[in-house]
């Protein structure tokens, strides 16, 4: 529509008519003269409004959901973050509890052997140092560590220190094929040398080819000159198999180490050797064997014709008539019945002779 003088006048006229109708409708109240027209318009345009509303409402709801989704996303993110923190705290508590248990066990072992130790944590394993079985610990020269110090944990011998840096050190594990330690067998004091075999049990060669060794025997470290690299009395492992000597000068056995080399965490470096050899004091106490049950003595009694109960030695131990709860063996009861029958027969024969 072109913007002309006539169109402007028409627009002004329509606006004036609209204001006039609004004024009349407001002043008329419920009796408004335009009420009929309003109802007619509602009748005509009501269904159209409902249809448009039905089509538009889902869009409006979706727009509202999108507007609120930001708040819900923030709440979900906050809950997820809180949940992750709780899981981390829970895992940290479990980890700390495990470390406390390891440290407590190690301190008890060190106390039993009178070892002065420096505790450390494993921070790396093997690959950085090549293909050997080694670990890296978070203690070094600043902590008083030196090369060729014994390393243990609460279970037994871990290895020895080979390289020392300012803040870290490398430990060669007892499972490494290049690792060798002198051993002494519990009680019999048989001496040998244990060598690592990777993931397999340690191989121990006893100096005595006729040494009496059996499965379950336990070994500790023999100790080195001036306690370097090994202090005495550290538990090494338990014999799991014995190879036949075959007349050799030495005897070889397989020993399962006490330490699990694939799950090391807290270890102790012996910075002060014991003043005396602890020998077998660091080994855990052997479980007591269950006592053999004592046999229950069995007493056999025999019933006599007069009711007496006689044991195997011929001693009278009671009377059936005096002790109604007493019982006799079926054989004894049969013997008593036979004896009573013989007595009755004898009495009958005597009566016949008198007649």
Chain centroid, CA 299 distance in Å: 52
pLDDT at 285: 84
Give the 3-state secondary structure percentages of the chain, helix then strand then coil, rounded to 5: 40, 25, 35
The two three-digit tokens of residue 212, written as one number: 């009496």
> Which DSSP category does 254 fall into?
E
pLDDT at 330: 44
What are the backbone dihedrals phi and psi of residue 132, each rounded to the nearest 5 degrees, phi first? -80, 160
- According to DSSP, the residues that pair with 185 across neighbouring strands are 219
How many Å apart are CA 299 and CA 313, to the nearest integer? 10
pLDDT at 51: 56
pLDDT at 349: 47
The residue ranges of DSSP E strands in 258-328, in sequence order, are 266-272, 302-303, 308-310, 316-319
As averages over each run of 10 residues, the pLDDT of the chain (355 residues) reads 70 75 60 58 50 52 52 68 66 74 91 94 73 89 95 96 94 95 94 94 92 93 93 96 76 94 93 93 82 73 76 75 52 45 44 43
Greatest CA separation found in the chain? 176
pLDDT at 154: 93
pLDDT at 352: 44
pLDDT at 333: 45
The two three-digit tokens of residue 73, written as one number: 């996303």
- 169-173/134-137 β-pairing: antiparallel
pLDDT at 6: 74
How many Å apart are CA 322 and CA 244, to the nearest integer? 69
Contacts of 303 (CB under 8 A, 6+ apart): 309, 310, 320, 328, 332, 333, 335, 336
> What are the CA-CA distances from residue 144 to residues 139, 152, 227 (Å)?
8, 16, 16
pLDDT at 41: 52
């Amino acid at each position: 529509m072109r913007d002309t003088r006539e169109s402007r006048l028409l627009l002004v006229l329509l606006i004036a008519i609209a204001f006039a109708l609004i004024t009349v409708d407001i002043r008329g109240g419920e009796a408004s003269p335009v009420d009929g027209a309003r109802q007619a318009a509602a009748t005509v345009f009501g269904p159209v409004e409902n249809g448009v509303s039905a089509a538009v409402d889902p869009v409006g709801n979706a727009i509202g959901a999108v507007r609120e989704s930001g708040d819900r996303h923030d709440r979900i993110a906050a809950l997820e973050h809180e949940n992750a923190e709780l899981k981390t705290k829970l895992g940290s508590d479990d980890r700390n509890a495990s470390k406390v248990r390891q440290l407590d066990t190690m301190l008890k072992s060190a106390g039993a052997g009178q070892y002065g130790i420096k505790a450390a944590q494993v921070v790396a394993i093997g690959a950085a140092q090549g293909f050997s079985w080694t670990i890296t610990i978070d203690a070094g020269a600043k902590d008083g560590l030196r090369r060729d110090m014994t390393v243990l944990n609460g279970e037994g011998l871990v290895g020895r220190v080979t390289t020392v840096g300012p803040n870290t050190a490398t430990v060669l594990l007892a499972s490494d094929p290049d690792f060798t330690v002198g051993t002494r067998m519990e009680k019999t004091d048989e001496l040998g040398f244990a060598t690592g075999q990777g993931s397999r049990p340690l191989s121990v060669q006893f100096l005595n080819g006729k040494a009496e060794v059996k499965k379950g025997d336990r070994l500790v470290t023999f100790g080195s000159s001036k306690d370097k690299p090994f202090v005495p009395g550290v538990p090494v492992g338990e014999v799991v198999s014995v190879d036949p000597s075959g007349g050799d000068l030495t005897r070889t056995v397989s020993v399962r180490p006490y330490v699990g080399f694939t799950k090391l965490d807290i270890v102790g470096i012996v910075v002060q050797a014991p003043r005396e050899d602890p020998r077998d004091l660091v080994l855990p106490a052997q479980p007591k064997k269950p006592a053999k049950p004592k046999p229950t003595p069995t007493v056999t009694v025999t019933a006599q014709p007069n009711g007496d109960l006689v044991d195997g030695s011929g001693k009278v131990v009671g009377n059936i008539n005096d002790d109604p709860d007493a019982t006799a063996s079926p054989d004894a009861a049969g013997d008593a019945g036979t004896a009573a029958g013989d007595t009755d027969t004898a009495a009958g024969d005597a009566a016949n002779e008198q007649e």
